[in-house]
Structure 1
């Protein structure tokens, strides 16, 4: 072991100290101060005086030990550490282990007072006679030496750590004096307990409990005779006697310990013989050493927690810097209780991998975040990937282990325009004019509210729909449930894209690098920007919590080994939108799951009320569903892990296969992500009471609108000027048949009132409808002219009936 005499110089040092030690050893048990009178010779006198002047008070600091991260049900998720050490009381260390360590290190441990004169004399004679070089350190002296080294290393003082084990006479004297102080202040059992928890057993295992688990997969309380002897023998030379890398040397050393135990009467000859027959390679049951989260049952959540502990502003009580915090986490023996619900986690993980098989060769990824509304607790975090191959957590921000950007979130963004509109006072039953567009025929938004406007575009903005629809007024309920792109674009223009982006920010949506979503109308309306599942789950949880946004957090409490609680501030929650708005939006988002909505048929809204929104991005690159009940909000992402090729061209999900769900020629948010969400939510809400969202208030239904001045019969330019004077913007819409003079305004949308500052669309008269061609009526029928004021599409055709969009 380090510090033992191993060569001739060690023998000489022991010989030089013999006179002094011989003089003082008989008096040590009576006290630390040793009178110089009676010591033989000036050298002895000087040595005793030097001994008396050495520091004597020895302070034992708490040992560095691994911490424990547990889930909401107290199951261990991970054990972070610098030194793999688990502190256990002596009563949880088998008697055979205690006996083995004493037998090989200090057989007279319970008889001496810190220095063993008999052992010292034996070692000296053996060394002088040229026999096996022996050390004279008692177990207590070893404990002092290793403690000094441990304390120095924890303080970052490498020089002091080296001095603690340096082989010289002065260090041995200081060690001896400290050992006597330890013996005066601690019982033998306390010293033995400290020693067994402190010493290094090789293979990155510190202390007997960690060593027992590391080599044999058993607790120290269960160690048998052979296992105890093997561990006890390692201490002298942890590398040479490491049973994993040097099984032959370890066996020989084990047998030495067993023989010594038999000699001391600590083990029977029969038991010793049986223990010696067992090969070391059959004793060791060890798995390869991995990183903290690589060993975790929930590696991605583990990595998120570790990053959160080091970087969250909420946890400054752990330290000022990430480095300080990590040191405390790894060395402090903390119990870190998290929010993770194991049943929800199991459901989320199983359901996402049914759709996205781990290790697939199709560039497919999938992730699910589950958040509790009103608290921000992260209840589950699933990911369809192998942590050994990729440590990037697709659910979270970069600072917490995610990638630098996240993924485009598509039509899930439309909810923020709806929130902004209702927050500004637009009634729930409002209708807005929706321009016509199809999948192949875009509508170009090119007015001053878009081109060159704040948060607008630098050129006309072309918007398509999944199918042909528009050229008419459309309610908020229809627009959001069918996820009509031109509806969302017009709504964003009406309420202001900058304000929509501000709403996103208030509700916690940002890019994975922490920056705001880039301020453009496309990002505000169609989710062209990027974010993460956890951000979206938290944003939608704001709606479930009647407008209260809570920053997501995985931490419930942190306690020390002494059961003292480290102050963890409560999750920051604040009302970011009115309860009236949030409840009204929840009511409207139920339509997504009802007949005619983009996720129809997946959920029984009447049996268990829920709300949500699908999301599909450009070129069917990513698919989303974010939905919630009053108790839980869940975001599901399935998409291309690498979003684009080296030239920036987006990959598509179309034509790919999704595990149990099969293969699809076209992939939307409702194709895979919505079914995964429904399957996950059905499992995690099982047993919860079915609750409904608060009913929308009269204020939300009624809104807060300004009257629109009459512009009937005016020419378009004059009409727009009148509207501007009244605080509105104006734009020319479609042409309709009307009694108004051709070319003048036949009507507006909205017709009577609108949000202050919003855009009013003008219908231009084409004159009265022409009389139908005269025909010869059948004798029993008559015909008469009719007129129609139904808005037509730009091509003059009536809107065809199509199924809802897929968002």
Structure 2
């Protein structure tokens, strides 16, 4: 080495030693109080932020019985009280990282000087001698305070003397504010153990399927060794390196009199004993699994729509107690797949179940024949099939419920006779889905339609019409009560998000070329005077259909369908969830009459009679089937006073066609022969029969005379 290089190197060593010795003198001269007074404002502020800012915690989503089924996090972490960490874990960590932890004031100056001189002699600043307190400071800066700032993370880890000195000063200030045990506990909660695993509790579960308190010597030694380099010492990817490092930690524990030589040798002979496979708890709604993933997604969407921030949900450590009924969900999932296998190309079967009530409408199940997940090749999806407006082809004649409700409000009773001719030309509604030209006005089209077949009587009661579903009778009713009243009734009874979308089932787009895409469904049908509304051709949410049934069964009380029972923060305090109050949207007498008016769909000539008979359904219930004109979707809604539910079977592929269900499994076909009384009704009766097995039968409500025959 040249003489000039030697002189420069020696000068550098003297400078480093002088700086560090100056730091060494601080605790001797003035103790903790003087140290605090000499800490700069920026360092003091950082120290306060570090102490006062809790680390990110995962949020847990539970079912109605308090059992977790999903977790939300970016950093998988669970805080662990000091008394819940095994002593061998503390011994392993301190023997490896900071054996003089209980003797220094945050910085081990002698070790730091030795490391600095080694670094200076080899031209680097990579070797540390950092204490547990200093490591706590760095890890908290990187993974908590600066976790969303890449630049801040780089600065908190840069290998410079100025950063080391700043870190040391913050560590000394932290030591003046917290006890040693508090620092050790915080360190064990914040330090990374590879991937998304942070803290000793998460590491214990992920690597050994155990708790921090139950860690053995070999397990504790492996985890203590990992903090040095979690990626390089990943025991799953590099078991040889992890074992070598573990055994070194065990030797250090023996050298520090934490283990006897015999105990150390026995511990080193033990296998790694990793959990199989090594994984953290699954995160997000994909992690909730194929059965409950749709419900999880609705929970997250519901909370973010009600004021919660998604990033906060992933870091806030909330316990989100939901209304999910796992047993009913399993019944509904099996029923949906029994009617439409999950691998069926282009066809999805969806179901939603809501509990009626005058104070809350709790969502208890959201399922689809598809699994919730990322594997498209296995027909998985992350589209919210059962809760969002995903049936783009409509619920069909289910929408006749809204026409019937509007007619009741206008003074027509469920026993009133209505006209139901086999064919009909409406001269009231124009400009909509025209099907035949007029004879007297140029470029004007009437609305022409017919019933499914010619078996209908020319007139029947409204109650009979709801059970047998003649198209002409409900278009005639629409003329009498007014289309605006029918559309408004749909929103009032529960189709609020559905009616707010456009006829493509998405938010209205003012920039769209087509005017019908610029407005909501409600505005489109009103302005166009489109009589087809009562035949349900527009995009529809399965969950909102279920909530319509719940509103009717709840004596006309609408409540927003909620998946939430309670949200508790990391401190155990309940967090308010902003939910709109329930509304009495129609008179109780009208709702009761509608329940009775819809009570014969499962009987005699009712469109769901065959499905009800197949599952031996005899319980009083309201029900209504629906099928769209081109057989691309079909639906069924029904309710008892205990549960309300809806099922929709619809095209979910990129080449929609009719759905065939006869002479083989469900499939896309040229013509289509699906009806609401087939797959949808069968699905509903299958899971609802099981849901009601242990429930007493509840009778239909009485009907006031004015709603029977005015």
Indicate whether the TM-score tops 0.5: yes
Matches within 5 A, 1:503-514: 503-509=489-495, 510=498, 511=501, 512-513=505-506
What SS class does the counterpart of residue 587 from structure 1 fall into? helix
Q: Distance in 2 between matches of 1:285 and 1:526?
A: 53
- Where does residue 697 of structure 1 map in the other structure? 704
Q: Distance in 2 between matches of 1:484 and 1:423?
A: 21
Residue 692 (structure 2) pairs with residue 685 (structure 1): yes
Distance 1:14-1:415 versus aligned 2 partners, 3 A rule? farther
Residue 208 (structure 2) pairs with residue 222 (structure 1): no
Residue 314 (structure 2) pairs with residue 306 (structure 1): no
Contact 2:420/2:459 (8 A) holds in 1: yes
Q: Distance in 2 between matches of 1:131 and 1:262?
A: 34
- Where does residue 199 of structure 1 map in the other structure? 191
Larger radius of gyration: 1
- Where does residue 510 of structure 2 map in the other structure? none
Distance 1:74-1:152 versus aligned 2 partners, 3 A rule? same
- Where does residue 677 of structure 2 map in the other structure? 670
What SS class does the counterpart of residue 361 from structure 2 fall into? coil
- Where does residue 18 of structure 1 map in the other structure? 17
Residue 334 (structure 2) pairs with residue 338 (structure 1): no
- In the alignment, structure 1 segments of 5+ residues that lack a partner are 1-8, 36-47, 319-324, 437-442, 704-807
Q: Which has the higher helix share?
A: 2
What SS class does the counterpart of residue 340 from structure 1 fall into? coil
Contact 2:593/2:704 (8 A) holds in 1: yes
- Where does residue 712 of structure 1 map in the other structure? none
Residue 56 (structure 2) pairs with residue 64 (structure 1): yes
Matches within 5 A, 1:267-666: 267-278=259-270, 280=272, 285-287=277-279, 291-297=283-289, 298-310=292-304, 312=305, 315-316=306-307, 318=308, 325-360=309-344, 362-374=345-357, 375-388=360-373, 389=376, 390-397=381-388, 403=390, 406-436=392-422, 443-447=423-427, 449-452=428-431, 459-470=445-456, 472-509=458-495, 510=498, 511=501, 512-513=505-506, 515-517=520-522, 518-519=524-525, 521-600=530-609, 602=612, 608-642=619-653, 644-645=655-656, 650-657=658-665, 666=673
- Report the CA distance between 1:124 and its aligned residue: 5.1
Contact 1:152/1:158 (8 A) holds in 2: no
The total of aligned residue pairs comes to 652
Q: Distance in 2 between matches of 1:149 and 1:452?
A: 63
Contact 2:189/2:201 (8 A) holds in 1: yes
What SS class does the counterpart of residue 593 from structure 1 fall into? coil
Distance 1:538-1:283 versus aligned 2 partners, 3 A rule? closer
> 1:343-376 CA deviation, whole Å, 9 max, x = no partner?
221221122122222223x433111101122312
Distance 1:112-1:288 versus aligned 2 partners, 3 A rule? closer
Distance 1:607-1:468 versus aligned 2 partners, 3 A rule? closer
Contact 1:434/1:470 (8 A) holds in 2: yes
- Where does residue 188 of structure 1 map in the other structure? 180
Q: Distance in 1 between matches of 2:601 and 2:540?
A: 22
Matches within 5 A, 1:211-250: 211-250=203-242
What SS class does the counterpart of residue 165 from structure 2 fall into? helix
Distance 1:446-1:182 versus aligned 2 partners, 3 A rule? closer
Q: Distance in 2 between matches of 1:15 and 1:135?
A: 18
- In the alignment, structure 2 segments of 5+ residues that lack a partner are 1-7, 437-443, 508-519
* TM-score using structure 1 length: 0.74
> 1:533-578 CA deviation, whole Å, 9 max, x = no partner?
1010111211101111112221222221111222113443112222
Contact 1:72/1:337 (8 A) holds in 2: yes
Q: Distance in 1 between matches of 2:605 and 2:431?
A: 37
- Where does residue 253 of structure 1 map in the other structure? 245
Q: Distance in 2 between matches of 1:681 and 1:92?
A: 45
- Report the CA distance between 1:252 and its aligned residue: 2.2
- Report the CA distance between 1:491 and its aligned residue: 2.1
Distance 1:494-1:23 versus aligned 2 partners, 3 A rule? closer
> 1:16-50 CA deviation, whole Å, 9 max, x = no partner?
33234335535516524669xxxxxxxxxxxx998
Contact 1:409/1:615 (8 A) holds in 2: yes
Q: Distance in 2 between matches of 1:675 and 1:651?
A: 16
- Report the CA distance between 1:587 and its aligned residue: 0.6
- Where does residue 3 of structure 2 map in the other structure? none
> 1:3-27 CA deviation, whole Å, 9 max, x = no partner?
xxxxxx9998775332343355355
- Report the CA distance between 1:177 and its aligned residue: 2.5
Matches within 5 A, 1:111-122: 111-122=103-114
Q: Distance in 2 between matches of 1:283 and 1:414?
A: 57
- Report the CA distance between 1:521 and its aligned residue: 3.9
Distance 1:285-1:220 versus aligned 2 partners, 3 A rule? farther
* TM-score using structure 2 length: 0.84
Distance 1:13-1:294 versus aligned 2 partners, 3 A rule? farther
What SS class does the counterpart of residue 562 from structure 2 fall into? coil
Contact 2:294/2:384 (8 A) holds in 1: yes
Distance 1:493-1:15 versus aligned 2 partners, 3 A rule? farther
What SS class does the counterpart of residue 590 from structure 1 fall into? coil
Q: Which moved more, 1:348-357 or 1:516-525?
A: 516-525
> 1:137-175 CA deviation, whole Å, 9 max, x = no partner?
111111122223334324x44443333223333332332
Matches within 5 A, 1:98-117: 98-117=90-109
Does 1 or 2 have the higher relative contact order (CA < 8 Å, sep 6+)? 2
Contact 1:417/1:525 (8 A) holds in 2: yes
- Report the CA distance between 1:412 and its aligned residue: 0.8
Q: Distance in 2 between matches of 1:12 and 1:587?
A: 97
- Report the CA distance between 1:507 and its aligned residue: 1.8
Matches within 5 A, 1:94-173: 94-123=86-115, 134-154=127-147, 156-173=148-165
Distance 1:419-1:456 versus aligned 2 partners, 3 A rule? farther
- Report the CA distance between 1:492 and its aligned residue: 2.1
What SS class does the counterpart of residue 178 from structure 1 fall into? helix
- Where does residue 716 of structure 1 map in the other structure? none
Contact 1:620/1:654 (8 A) holds in 2: no
